[in-house]
Structure 1
Amino acid sequence: MAAAFRHWAHSDYVEGMSGHISVRDPEYPAAFWTNPLGVHFGLLCVSDMILVDFAGKVIGGDRTRPPNTAGFLIHSAIHQARPDVHAICHAHSIYGKAWSVFGKRLEMLTQDACKFFGQAQGVYSDYGGVVLGFEEGKRIAAALGPRGKGCIMRNHGILTVGQTVDEAAFLFTSMERSCQVQLLVDAAAAKGTPKLIIEDEEAMLNQEVEGDPEICYAEFQVYYNHIDRLHKGEFKE
């Protein structure tokens, strides 16, 4: 998780204190590890992380800082609604925010976008402001759906989930880039260039490979190894 945050810092996903990753604790499934409030992604280490239960109480890790309130409400709702989800990623990335203003699904424009084909992609089409209530978190979890891997949150940004931090983090980067591609393609299409959408059958076949949890885990290792070499393993402290 610390390596994923360092990767986010290099990818320019930082916007103040916004953004959070969580991973369900393997011993206490009704609690999850997440980042503390107000630490730059590029500085986060293993020792900074905090363990929070579903009531919002910090029960382990670094107790000097609280969790991000909005982050806790979103992540706790999804972890409770989806027992299969062990990790969740959300940040205020540029292209995810830009595409979110349309409140629309990503189209299957590229092989990479097919990770989010069909029920693997949800859209939260309402906007309730900064998430400061349990009900808003529950609505986002409902929009993600029982099989969602990623969710477009209108006027807010994107969110991804996975069986591991590595899977969820790779899906986040892939969804962010797919939003960028969608915006570029739509800009070209507005000038008269026709779009060619991948057919459903091919999109499903792509998803079976591109969206496989182990494949997504392996995809993230190139980022992990880059961060490990770049930071000389300092984030593991």
Structure 2
Amino acid sequence: MQSEMKEADTHQQKLEEWQVRKDLAAAYRLVALYGWDDLVFTHLSARVPGPEHHFLINPYGLLFHEITASSLIKVNQDGTIVQSGSVHRVNPAGFTIHSAVHMSREDAGAVVHLHAPDGVAVSAHRDGLLPLSQTAMLCLGHLSYHGYEGVALNLDERERLTRDLGNARMMLLRNHGTLTVGRTVAEAFTYMYFLMKACEIQVRTLSCGPTYLPTEEAIETTRVQSEELGKAATLTWPALLRLLDSRSPGYAI
């Protein structure tokens, strides 16, 4: 009886992992579809169900539109590859950033990190993200900042990165890019969509000349209204998968 129960648990865990793999592969494809990718660089990760504290990350060298569920690499918290497909390399900087967040945040089911130009531009702006749009104001209450220390190859940076992240769902890595954390891949991607859209609007707005800022009361009202922003993923993710099925099928293999 115990062996049957263990076998059933193992089977269920495999099913759950496969679902995470499909969602993460979909997120990689969506990043490419939105034009947020950076050749083979930047990374998205997701925690694998189970007690081992393993997570999935992209095989270093594949373009994001090439990634499939089965090609994702499973690593442990030390960066050791547990399981891989045909490519057996992991971006060291990706491991530094993502392992830091997964190790420090129990709620970090998925982490998205990008170098998209508008996000980098706002990360380098002296004042960071400004309340220039409703989208930006929906992000501000979830946002933190981390100073640039060089390419993220130093494992010592993990402590400072997680300290700066705190409980935030979004982060601007100064002079570097954007990062979001979600309980699921769908949630992390949805947070990133809002953050990237806010950055895009800011870059366009600042190119137009003098700006108009809302009142502090309006900013605070929007911050309160944004507390459940992650729940938008229940609507956005199924729609995004339908888009992906029509534009970039094949991610779920």
CA 104–86 in structure 1, closer or farther in 2 if over 3 Å, else same: farther
Letter in 2 for 1:186: L
Counterpart of 1:48 in structure 2 is 71
Q: How many residues align structurally?
A: 229
Deviations 1:163-215 (A, max 9, x none): 00011012112111101112222333xx3343225634312332034x1x332
2 CA distance for matches of 1:115 and 1:52?
34
Q: Partners in 2 of 1:67 and 1:28 — Cα distance?
A: 22
TM-superposed CA distance for 1:136, in Å, is 1.7
Partner of residue 220, structure 1: 237
Counterpart-to-counterpart distance in 1, 2:177 and 2:126: 10
Q: What is the distance in 1 between the residues matched to 2:100 and 2:93?
A: 11
Give the Å deviation of 1:37. Answer: 0.4
Runs of at least 5 residues in structure 1 that lack an aligned partner in the other structure: none
Cα deviation for residue 10 of structure 1 reads 1.3
What does residue range 203-218 of structure 1 map to in structure 2 within 5 Å? 203-209=222-228, 211=229, 213-218=230-235
Tell me the distance in 2 between the aligned counterparts of 1:48 and 1:154: 31
Instruction: Give the ranges of 4+ consecutive aligned residues of structure 1 lying more than 4 Å apart after TM superposition.
Output: none
Contact map agreement 1:50 1:62 (CA 8 A) in 2? yes
Q: Which residue of 2 aligns with 1:123?
A: 145
Give the 3-state SS of the residue equivalent to 1:47 in structure 2.
helix
Against the structure 1 CA distance between its residues 195 and 204, is the aligned structure 2 distance closer, same or farther, given a 3 Å change threshold?
A: closer
Task: Identify the range of structure 1 (157-166 vs 96-105) with the bigger mean alpha-carbon deviation.
Answer: 96-105
In the alignment, is the contact (CA less than 8 A) between 1:2 and 1:44 conserved in 2? Answer: yes
Return 92-101 or 107-116, whichever deviates more: 107-116
1:161 has 2:177 as partner: no
Distance (Å, rounded) in 1 between the aligned partners of 2:201 and 2:95: 30
Answer whether contact 1:108 1:197 (CA < 8 A) is retained.
no
Provide the TM-score with structure 2 as the length reference: 0.84
- Judge conservation of contact 1:3–1:228 (CA < 8 Å) in 2: no
Q: Where does residue 81 of structure 2 map in the other structure?
A: 58
Q: Does 1:94 align with 2:114?
A: no
SS in structure 1 of the partner of residue 78 of structure 2: coil
* 1:45 Cα offset (Å): 0.4
Which residue, out of 54, 58, 69, partners 1:31?
Answer: 54
Distance 1:114 1:183 in 2: 15
**1:228 Cα offset (Å):** 1.5
| Structure of greater Rg | 2
Partner Cα separation in structure 2 for residue 173 and residue 236 of structure 1: 21
- Percent identity, aligned pairs only, is 29
The alpha carbon displacement at 1:62 in A equals: 2.0
Aligned residue identity for 2:239: V
Alpha-carbon RMSD: 1.8
**What does the per-residue CA deviation read over 1:14-68, in whole Å, with 9 as the maximum and x for residues that have no partner?**
2222111111111135211111101000010001101110011011232632211
Q: Going by fraction, where is helix more abundant, 1 or 2?
A: 2
TM-score, normalisation: structure 1: 0.89
Aligned counterparts of 1:15 and 1:235: Cα–Cα separation in 2:
19
- Structure 1 residue corresponding to 2:196, chosen from 145, 168, 176: 176
Separation of aligned partners in 2, 1:121 and 1:161 = 11
Identify the residue that residue 5 of structure 2 maps to in structure 1: none
2:241 aligned counterpart, secondary structure: helix
Could you tell me whether the CA contact under 8 Å between 2:131 and 2:214 is conserved in 1? Answer: no
Judging changes above 3 Å, is the alpha-carbon distance between structure 1 residues 42 and 64 closer, same or farther for their aligned structure 2 residues? closer
In structure 2, the gaps of 5 or more residues are: 1-23
- CA contact under 8 A between 1:149 and 1:160: conserved in structure 2? yes
Residue 181 of structure 1 aligns to which amino acid in structure 2? Answer: I
- Partner in structure 1 of residue 36 of structure 2: 13
Q: Give distance in 1, aligned partners of 2:90 and 2:227.
A: 35
Distance 1:35 1:28, change over 3 A: farther
**Partner residue of 1:201?**
220
